[in-house]
Amino acid sequence: MRGGETLGYEAAGEGPVLLAVHGFPFDRRMWAEQLRGLADIRRVVAVDLRGRGRSAGIDPGGATIDRYADDVAATIRALEVAQADVAGLSMGGTSPSRSGGGTRGWYGP
């Protein structure tokens, strides 16, 4: 993330990555059952968007869908994987589609 902020997350399992992004007003804990249920077949990573859970607070630049999208993209890059599937609820489903005009650039080749 820009400026060295950090995002909280919880991960379980191994295999293809599934990044779970919560909606408002929740945090990564809303995905606890999915982490347990899918850990046998996927590496599930539930992330806290900025200002929620264990993530950095919201700075003066504010929290916008585009900033959330940038945070999701940065999370995928930090996982150092060639491809990740994304599951999102409400705002968490909208955020990924806003980064760089679409998702292809940070989901795979």
pLDDT at 73: 82
pTM (two decimals): 0.79
Give per-residue pLDDT as tens, 74-97: 888 888 888 888 888 877 766 665
The CA-atom distances, in angstroms, between 69 and each of 15, 41, 95, 97 are 24, 26, 5, 7
List, in order of start, the domains of the chain with CATH numbers.
2-102 (3.40.50.1820)
pLDDT at 109: 37
For the cut 50, the answer to whether the pLDDT of residue 34 exceeds it is yes
pLDDT at 95: 65
Give per-residue pLDDT as tens, 47-77: 998 888 888 788 777 778 888 888 888 888 8
pLDDT classification of 98: cutoffs 50, 70, 90:
low
Task: Give the distance from CA 12 to its chain's centroid.
Answer: 14
| DSSP code per residue over 40-60 | TTSEEEEEPPTTSTTSPPP-T
